[in-house]
């Protein structure tokens, strides 16, 4: 009996652990939105006055935005569409491309997915900037004389945040959940305190107040959506981190903890504004009791650091996916935890994000100025996610058809409205995330296109393996013991490294494997499908290693674990790896525009060596190459 009781408690304990972990990682960004959302809505350029109809209408807009965008769209629908358990815009894009395989729309879907990923990288710059800055700005309320310290303290916190990334989040991550639980309890308590002052704000739960807001303010009321959308920043994290925690823990955390706490806090801030209209300057901190103000500033800073950590970790994961899917060059990727596969560190991305975030803080100077820029990347990503959702699920029985099309039309309509309201602030700062997105998009597409041109040049001048092997056997060179693995993207063509080895060293190994490392549009590849190998001639083999876009390629380990294929045994102490490393030469009026050729040549020259990326020991690798014009 006791064993049965223990067995029934185990799944509940496991669910509780996952819910706690989801609170610490997934909800940091959206959980810190109350710091600035309502404050931005009452900025002078929106022209709102804190009277009863306006405040209730604004609160109703915020509450029903949370219900439609997060609860209905992400929690209710999108999280039911996964790519073998993984979520996120790149995973959804890969799933949509598989759905459209063989049709013309696949190219457009690919472009949408890449641009969505580019906007997500821009979000990785903006989120730490606005989150930490808005938390530290509480000093302006607690001690106005310390206002000049806000920027230095913010920059210091960001420097510490990025400098500690190399240690990983394994140990720190265990504390994230309890801290965020305390944060949401504080949000709910502060909100309940405000509601007690003015219970009339509970009427804002009626959506008629949102409709009445638009009827009162006319077309001008549309632009307020640029501030309302700040309430759902971080919503994409629910889908992006689904692979780490699962759908149900994230759904429970949102419905049981996060949504009630956020709703109470926004209503409490609105009640404070109705009771004291001057509180619109900072309704979050002005609603905190005086004795708790400094502890709340400290807790807010920690919560925003956690929110920033989640976005930065998401940028690392997106980078790994982009590298494996062929949109970025090889980079050094370090695993920071033995137990948590998703915890990685990408030094190059870390320092680029740090420089971009600090430059953003210095350039904009305040969370108010940043808020105008923040919404574009968020709403752009959400709209692309909605479009990819339609492409992926239009032939699935996800929902009954009479309900499905009105639902997705609502999602797209809301996303378009929010994006339009934010684009209206183009010259006030909305240009910044768009510029970041365009730059990242250009880099991703340049690398992808450059790789295609490079492979085409290599293939054009290459020698077919099926013709090369029989001719080579007519006059066989000297053989040396052990297997040789030639890394190549085109197994039908003789690798450059093999030709150079024969030309300069005049030797051939006993067994020669032409190996292509392939990334599949799935998160992980089952072990049984990892390696495919077949003999194509005397001592020559054509092989393919398959990895998912969420896996870190370890070529020697994958070969060693593979079942022996005839006389091919990949002993790590005997196997020699050969890689071709071409030197790219940009040429005018050939391939891409010259500026893109030069960007690609720079990226190719600075790509991480194959020995590091594929986990090949440097003392077992030989690199050979030649200049190639594109």
pLDDT digits (tens, 9 = 90+) for 564-621: 555 567 888 888 999 887 777 777 767 788 888 889 888 888 888 777 788 888 888 8
DSSP-based three-state secondary structure for 68: helix
| 380 is a domain residue | yes
Strands 627-629, 583-585: pairing is: parallel
Percent of the chain clearing pLDDT 90 (strictly above): 24
- Per-residue pLDDT reduced to its tens digit, 382-395: 999 999 888 888 77
Q: How many angstroms separate the CA atoms of 553 and 488, rounded?
A: 15
Domain count, the chain: 2
The β-bridge relationship of strands 507-520 and 478-487 is parallel
Query: What is residue 96's predicted lDDT score, i.e. its pLDDT?
Result: 84
| 491, 613: one domain | yes
479 plus 348 within the same structural domain:
no
Question: Residue 433: inside a domain, yes or no?
Answer: no
Tokens representing 289?
A: 């009791």
182 confidence band (pLDDT: 50, 70, 90): very high
- pLDDT tens string 263-289: 999 999 999 999 999 888 889 999 899
Mark whether 608 and 504 lie in a shared domain.
Answer: yes
Sheet of 621-624, strand order: 531-537, 540-548, 507-520, 478-487, 576-580, 621-624
CATH code (residue 324) = 1.20.1740
415 and 461 in a single domain? The answer is no
* 389, 419, 449 - which closes a domain: 419
Report the mean per-residue pLDDT for the chain. 84
Tokens of 24: 């610490």
Q: What is the pLDDT of residue 425?
A: 81
Residue written as token pair 């938390």: 135
Residue 447, domain member (yes or no): no
Q: Are residues 390 and 463 in the same domain?
A: no
* One domain, residues 389 and 471: no
274 and 195 within one domain:
yes
Residue 587 located in a structural domain: yes
If asked whether residues 55 and 142 sit together in one domain, one would say yes
State the residue range of the domain holding 83: 2-419
Asked if residue 530 is part of any domain, the answer here is yes
Rounded to whole angstroms, the Cα distance separating 567 from 483 reads 10
Q: What is the pLDDT of residue 7?
A: 37
Residue 484 located in a structural domain:
yes
Within-domain flag for 444: no
Q: Indicate whether 307 belongs to any domain.
A: yes
Containing 238, the helix (H) or strand (E) segment is helix 236-240
Q: Which residues are 278's β-sheet partners?
A: none
Interval 60-83 mean pLDDT: 91
Question: Of 362, 393, 419, which residue sits at a domain end?
Answer: 419
If asked whether residues 366 and 467 sit together in one domain, one would say no
Q: Is the pLDDT of residue 87 over 50?
A: yes
Burial (CB count <10 Å: 0-12, 13-18, 19+), residue 200: middle
């Amino acid at each position: 009996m006791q064993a049965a009781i223990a067995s029934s408690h185990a799944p509940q304990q496991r669910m509780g652990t996952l819910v706690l972990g989801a609170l610490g990682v997934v909800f940091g960004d959206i959980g810190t939105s109350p710091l600035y959302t309502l404050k931005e809505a009452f900025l002078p350029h929106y022209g709102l006055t804190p009277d009863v109809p306006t405040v209730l209408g604004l609160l109703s807009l915020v509450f029903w935005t949370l219900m439609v965008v997060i609860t209905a769209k992400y929690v209710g629908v999108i999280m039911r569409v996964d790519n073998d358990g993984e979520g996120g815009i790149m995973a959804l894009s890969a799933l949509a491309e598989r759905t459209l395989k063989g049709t013309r729309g696949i190219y457009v879907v690919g472009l949408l997915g890449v641009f969505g990923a580019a906007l997500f990288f821009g979000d990785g710059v903006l989120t730490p900037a606005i989150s930490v800055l808005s938390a530290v700005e509480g000093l302006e309320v607690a001690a106005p004389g310390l206002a000049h310290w806000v920027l230095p303290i913010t920059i210091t916190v960001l420097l510490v945040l990025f400098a500690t990334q190399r240690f990983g989040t394994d140990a720190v991550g265990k504390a994230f959940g309890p801290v965020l639980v305390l944060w949401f309890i504080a949000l709910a308590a502060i909100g309940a305190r405000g509601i007690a002052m003015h219970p009339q704000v509970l009427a804002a739960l009626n959506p008629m107040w949102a409709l009445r807001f638009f009827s009162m303010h006319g077309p001008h009321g549309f632009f307020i959506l640029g501030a309302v959308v700040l309430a759902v920043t971080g919503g994409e994290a629910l889908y992006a981190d689904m692979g780490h925690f699962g759908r149900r823990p994230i759904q429970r955390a949102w419905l049981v903890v996060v949504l009630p706490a956020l709703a109470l806090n926004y209503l409490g801030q609105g009640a404070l504004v109705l009771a004291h209209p001057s509180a619109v300057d900072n309704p979050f901190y002005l609603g905190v009791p005086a004795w708790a103000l400094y502890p709340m500033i400290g807790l807010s800073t920690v919560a925003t650091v956690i929110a920033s950590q989640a976005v930065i970790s998401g940028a690392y994961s997106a980078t790994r996916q982009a590298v494996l899917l062929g949109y970025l060059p090889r980079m050094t990727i370090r695993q920071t935890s033995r137990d948590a596969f998703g915890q990685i560190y990408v030094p190059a991305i870390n320092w680029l994000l740090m420089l971009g975030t600090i430059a953003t803080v210095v350039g904009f100077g305040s969370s108010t100025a940043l808020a105008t820029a923040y919404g574009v990347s968020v709403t752009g990503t959400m709209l692309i996610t909605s479009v990819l959702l339609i492409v992926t699920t239009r032939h699935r029985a996800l929902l009954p058809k009479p309900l499905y099309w009105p639902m997705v039309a609502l999602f797209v309509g809301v996303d378009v409205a929010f994006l339009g309201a934010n684009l209206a602030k183009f010259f006030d700062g909305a240009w910044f995330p768009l510029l970041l997105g365009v730059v990242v998009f250009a880099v991703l597409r340049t690398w992808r296109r450059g790789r295609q041109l490079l492979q085409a040049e290599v293939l054009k001048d290459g020698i077919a393996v099926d013709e090369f092997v029989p001719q080579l056997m007519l006059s066989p060179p000297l053989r040396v013991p052990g297997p040789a693995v030639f890394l190549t993207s085109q197994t039908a063509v003789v690798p450059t490294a093999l030709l150079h080895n024969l030309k300069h060293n005049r030797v051939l190994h006993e067994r020669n494997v032409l190996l292509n490392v392939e990334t599949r549009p799935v998160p992980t590849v089952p072990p049984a499908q990892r390696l495919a190998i077949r003999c194509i001639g005397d001592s020559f083999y054509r092989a393919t290693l398959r990895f998912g876009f969420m896996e870190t390629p370890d070529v020697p380990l994958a070969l060693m674990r593979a079942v022996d294929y005839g006389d091919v045994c990949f002993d790590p102490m005997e196997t020699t790896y050969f890689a071709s490393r071409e030197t790219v030469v940009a040429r005018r009026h050939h391939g891409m525009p010259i500026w893109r050729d030069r960007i690609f040549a720079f990226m190719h020259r600075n790509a991480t060596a194959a020995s590091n990326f594929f986990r090949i020991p440097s003392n077992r690798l030989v690199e050979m190459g030649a200049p190639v014009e594109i």
